Chain A
Amino acid sequence: MTNGWNDIANSDCILVIGANCAENHPAAFGHIMTAKARGAKLISVDPRFTRTSAKADIYAPLRSGTDIAFINGMIKYVIDDIERNPSNYIMTYILEYTNAPFLINPDFKGPAELDGIFSGLNADARSYNTATWQYQLDENGVPKRDKTLKDPNCVFQLMKKHLSRYDVDKVSKITGTPKDVYLEICKTFAATGKTGKAGNILYAMGTTQHTHGTQNIRAYAILSLLLANIGVSGGGIYAMRGEHNVQGSTDMALLAHILPGYLGIVINKDVTLQDYLKRLTPTTKDPLSANWWGNYPKYVVSLLKAWYGNGATKDNDFGFGYLPKVSGNATALHSWIPLFEAMNKGTIKGLFCFGQNPAVGGPNSNLERGAMDKLEWLVVADLWETETAAFWKRPGTNPVNIKTEVFVLPAACHYEKEGTVSNSSRWVQWRYKAANPPGEAMADLEIIDELGRKIKEVYKSGGKYTDPILKMTWDNGHPASSDKVLREINGHDLTTGKLVTNFVSLKDDGTTSCGEWVYCGCYNEEGNFTKRRDLNDTPYKIGLYSKWTWCWPLNRRVVYNRASVDLNGEPWDKEHPVIWWKDGKWTGDVPDGGFPPMSVDPKATRLPFIMRNEGVARLFGMGLADGPFPEHYEPWESPVKNPMSGTQINPTCIIGASAPGQRGTSDKYPYVATTYRLVEHWQTGPMSRNLSWLCELQPDMFVEISEELAKEKGVANGGKVIVESARGQFEAIALVTKRLKPMNVDGKVIHEIGMPWHWGYSGLVTGPSANVLTPHVGDANTAIPEYKAFLCNLKKA
C-alpha cells in the first residue's frame, strides 16, 4: 500500500473497486467517512450492492472479471480530456515522472493490431518474448524521450492507440455497467487530476483473484499516474490486505518466487553468486537515475551472512550454494496451484501448515483435499482442529483408507506471545504477551525454533547435503525470543557488533548481516522502534504519525513521495504536503532518496521513482508476463465470447494440470459466480467459526441471488438451493436480495450469484465450502487463483 490508512481522510475522491471495506476493512471505512465529511466523493464499483455501496455517492455494478475494460475506459476518458483540457492535469508530473514520453521499439505491436495479443507471444509456451517491449536508447544508452508526446512510438501515443478501442459503448457492452453512471464515474474521478486534488483507489481480493489480476492493478496504477495521484497525500493505491500479517509474511518471502526483501529466487543457471547478481541487478546509463536496486549485492550478501554466519565467506560465495535452485519460473513451477497438482500426483510426501487451512482456502477444494490423502505425513500448527488437520475424517471419506500420519501442534494466539506484525500500510507493530496459552500450547516461534534444533540434531550424523542445515545460524535464545530474532532481521555491523542504523549502511563484502533489508532500521541502537507510541504528527499534520511504531522502508509513510512535489520541491497540494524542500533540505515525511529537487540542483537530483532503473513510473510496463498494457480478456469460464478481440482468455495465465478437464461452459453452467467475505467471519473460518459470539451472528453458509433469478427458479428467500460448477456442488440457504441484479452484457441477460467462503466441516458451526466450486487456474504474473469469476448452475433443492 502506497499510503497509510489515516491518509484516506485527505482524499477528494475514493474509488473502491474489487473490495468492500465497510464490511472487510471497517477501520479503514472510518477514514473514508472522515473524507466524505470534508466533501470527498465515494465511488463503489462491485457486482453486488455492498455495505460500501450503501454509503457511496456513486455506485456502479460490473460483471465479475471485467475490471480492465472498466478502468481502461476511464483511462481513455482521461487521455481524451488531457488532450482537450491539459490545464486540468499536472502535465509536469506526466512528462517528468512517468514514462509517457519514452520511445518504444518501433517493432512493438499491441492488441489493436494483433487481435488481442502483444508482439512476441509463444502460444504453446504460454509466454512472451519481450524483446520488442523495450525503450529506444540514444547513443549514450539513455532511453529516448519525446516530451511533445507526438511521436507515434512514444508511450503516450501507444497507450492512446491501445485504449481507443475502449469507448463507452464497448465498455458497457463488456461490463454490463449502465453508460450514464459510468460516465459520471469517469468525470468524477478524472477531476482529481487537477493540481491540489487527490483521488485514491482501494482494492482487495475482488481485484487480484483473476487470471488477469495483476493487470487489473496495472490499470489502476496507469489511471492514478495520469491523474498525478501517486506519491501525494489523499492519493495512492491501497492494496487492502486480508490477513493481519500477510504483508510481513510476504516481506519474509514465504513464497516460491522470492527471498526476503523481494530478492529473486535462485534459478539453476545461477551457478555462482555473480551469475545471480548479474541476472538481477539492474543497471542504468542515465545519470539522473538513482537505480536503487543497484544495491542488490549488498542486500543478498547481508542476507546470506544473517542465515549462514561464519559459514558464509568470500571463498564460498557467502554460502550462495546453500540456497535451493529452481529450474525455471518458480511461480509457474512451485506456487500454490502447481504445489497441489504436484501433491495430487504424489510428488509431495510431507506438508507443513502453519496457521493456514488449505482444505477450505485453496481453489477446487475437492481436488486439494484429495491431494492430501496422498501425503505420507502432515504437520499442522494451529489454535484449532482445522479442516486441514481433520482432512482424513472429512465427510465422504473413510479414514481407514487414508495412510497419512498427522501431527497437530497446539499454537499460541497473538496475545499469548510477543513479536511484530506488519499491516497493509507497512507499519511494523509490536504486540506484547498478555496471557498464557492453554495447556501445552506454544508460540509458533518456539515450535519453529525447536524444530530447527531437532533437524540440526538428526543431521549431525550425516545425510544429504548437510552444510546448509548445519551451518544455518540458529541462535534464537532460550526460550526463543522475538526480540533477538527481530535484531537479526534488522541486521548487524559485524565489525562492531552493533545493530545497523538502516540499509544504507549495508555492505556486499560480508561485514554486515541483515535478514530482511526493507526492515533494516526498525530496531537500532536507540531501541525497538516498533514499540513507539508517540502521537505527535509533525510537521504538516496530515496524519502520517511518523513516531507511532515504525514503517518500512526507512519509516517512509508515503512511498514515491518525491512525486508529490514540483521540480522546485514545492508540494502540488500545499494543504496536505507530504514533503517540502525548505532551506536547502526536505521537511515532512522521509523522502524517497534524499536527492534535491530537479530544478534546484539538476546535477545532484535524481528522478523520483528510485526503484525503477529509468527513474520514472511505468505507464508502459515491460516487466509484466502478459503485456505492457492491460488488455481485457474473459475469465477462464465466461458466459460470453470476448467482445474486445478473438483472444478469449489471458494467453499466459497459469492453468493447473487438472483444470482443462474440469472447465465449465455456459450451456451447462449459465451463471457467473463470485465469492466474498463477511464482517462476522474470517477467511477459512477457524478464527471465527470457533467463537460463539460470531457464530451466533452469522451461523449459516448461504448463496446470494437476485429477486429475478429467484423468481425464475421458484426459490424463496431462506429456501434451499443446489449450486454446481464443473468441479463440485453443494446445498445451501438462498439469500434473495436486491443487491444483485441481472446485467445486460453484449445484448444478453447475465445473472450473477455471490457466496461467502468461510465455511467448512470443522468448528462450532459448519457448512459447505464455496471453494469446492472454484477452478485451478491463476493469474499470469502471480498465479493467484481465479476465485472471483467462474461459472455455475443453480437449482431449487
Chain B
Amino acid sequence: MELSRREFLKLSGAAAVMGLSTPKTGLAAEPPKSIPLHKKIGETTTICPFCGVGCGFVVASSNGSAVNVEGDPEHPINQGGACAKGGAQFQLSAHNRLRLKKVLYRAPVSTKWEEKSWGWAMTEIAKRIKNTRDNNWIEKDKDDFTVNRTEAIACTGGASLDNEECYLLSKLMRSLGVVFLEHQARI
C-alpha cells in the first residue's frame, strides 16, 4: 500500500484520536512501518561552500534536481550540524530564480544585457585576450632583462572554485604571461 504524505498524516491523526478512546489498539504509538515516508532519492555528499571549516553536507536530489541539503551526520567536523548559511545551501540550487542561466553580454556604452551563446562568447573573449596581450607584451624590462609578461590583463578570484579549477586557471594565466593574478586570499 502506497500512501501520500498527506494521506498518511490524515491517517495517523485519525489514529491518534482513536488512540485516545481505544488505547489498547496501540495505533497512536506505532505508525505502520510499511508505509514509505519519502521516495528513494539520490543522496551525495558535499562540502559547504561558505567558510573555511569544511563541514560535510548531504544533497538529496531527484532527476538531476536538488530536493534537500542537510548536515552530514557522519562528518567528523560538523557531525550533522549546520549554521544559518550552511543550512540555506538548498537555495543555491537551480530552483533559485536569481541564478544566471545564460551568457550575458554588455556592449560598450550600452544600457542593457544581451543574451549570447557560449560559442560566441568564448570566441570573442579569446580574441580580446590575444589582442590585449599582443599589443601590451613586455619582452624586456627597463633593465633589459627578458621578462616575457603582460601587465594589461589581470585575473582575480579562486577561493570559491575547486582545486582543479584553480590549478587550471593558474596554469593558463601564467602561460599567457599574466602577472596581475590575485584572489580572496590577499584581501
Contacts and interface: CB of A to CB of B under 8 A. Distances in A.
Given A415-B69, A454-B122, A694-B85, A336 B186 contact: yes
A267 B65 CA distance: 49
B84 A438 contact: no
Given A442-B118, A485-B164, A535-B76, A256 B180 contact: yes
Nearest to B130: A458
A280 B106 CA distance: 45
B46 interface: yes
Contacts of B64: 435-436
Interface stretch (A112-120, A130-138, A235-243, A744-752): A235-243
A382 interface: yes
B176 interface: yes
B158 interface: yes
A450 interface: yes
B24 interface: no
B34 interface: no
A688 B149 CA distance: 37
B183 A356 contact: yes
Given A268-B145, A326-B149, A448-B168, A414 B52 contact: no
B186 A335 contact: yes
A6 B182 contact: no
A334 B180 contact: yes
Interface in A410-444: 410-411, 413-417, 419-425, 427-429, 431-444
B69 to A, nearest CB: 7
A448 B106 CA distance: 21
Contact of B158 (A349, A355, A431): A355
Nearest to B95: A438
A465 B143 contact: no
A361 B164 contact: no
A339 B52 contact: no
A465 to B, nearest CB: 5
Nearest to B182: A336
B21 interface: no
Nearest to A444: B165
Interface residues of A, number: 165
B181 interface: yes
Contacts of A241: 51-52
A451 B101 contact: no
A248 interface: yes
A468 B186 CA distance: 27
A262 interface: no
Q: Which of B111, B125, B146, B187 has the most chain A CB atoms inside 10 A of its CB? A: B187
A783 interface: yes
Given A377-B128, A409-B121, A533-B74, A245 B182 contact: no
A330 B168 contact: no
Interface stretch (A80-88, A399-407, A610-618): A399-407
A382 B59 CA distance: 21
A631 interface: no
B164 to A, nearest CB: 4
B108 to A, nearest CB: 4
Nearest to B174: A323
A401 B156 contact: no
Interface stretch (A19-27, A168-176, A191-199): A19-27
B92 A413 contact: yes
Q: Please list the 9 inter-chain residue pairs (A to B) with the smallest Cβ-Cβ separation, ordered nearest first.
A: A439-B101, A423-B54, A241-B52, A419-B162, A356-B157, A249-B158, A354-B157, A324-B149, A410-B100
Interface of B: 42, 44-56, 59-61, 64-66, 69, 74, 76-79, 81, 83-86, 88-89, 91-94, 96, 98-111, 113, 118, 121-130, 132-134, 136-137, 139, 141-143, 145-187
